[in-house]
Structure 1
């Protein structure tokens, strides 16, 4: 489990770095990685909004 979370953390940080780098005119390969990272963030946000709207918010 720790290995899976570590990999997820590395992918997240790397994706954020690619978004930052691509916005500043980085290499060509950073653009598709940045697009994929932003799409994954939108999907995660949309999924979170759906789960909160159905009353499954664990923070309350």
Structure 2
């Protein structure tokens, strides 16, 4: 479990680095990684919102 969390942490930090590098005009592959990172973050954020909505509707 610790290894899995470590991998997730490394991928998160690398994705954040790609977003910063892409904002400064990095190569095409960095922009692709940055886009994937931003989309993954948006999906995680939306999944958190959906859970909150379900709780309030069920109560």
Q: Give the TM-score of the pair, scaled to structure 1.
A: 0.87
Number of corresponding residues: 56
* Structure 2 stretches lacking a partner, 5+ long: none
Runs of 4+ in 1 over 6 A off after TM superposition: none
- Asked if 1:33 corresponds to 2:33, the answer is yes
What is the root-mean-square deviation of aligned Cα atoms in Å? 1.2
* 1:23 corresponds to: 23
Looking at structure 1, the residues matched to 20 and 46 of structure 2 have their Cα atoms a distance apart, in angstroms, of: 22
Q: How does 1:1-60 map to 2 (within 5 A)?
A: 1-55=1-55
Unmatched 5+ stretches in structure 1? none
* Partner deviation per Cα, 1:12-57 (whole Å, 9 max, x = no partner): 000010001001011221011000000000000000000111228x
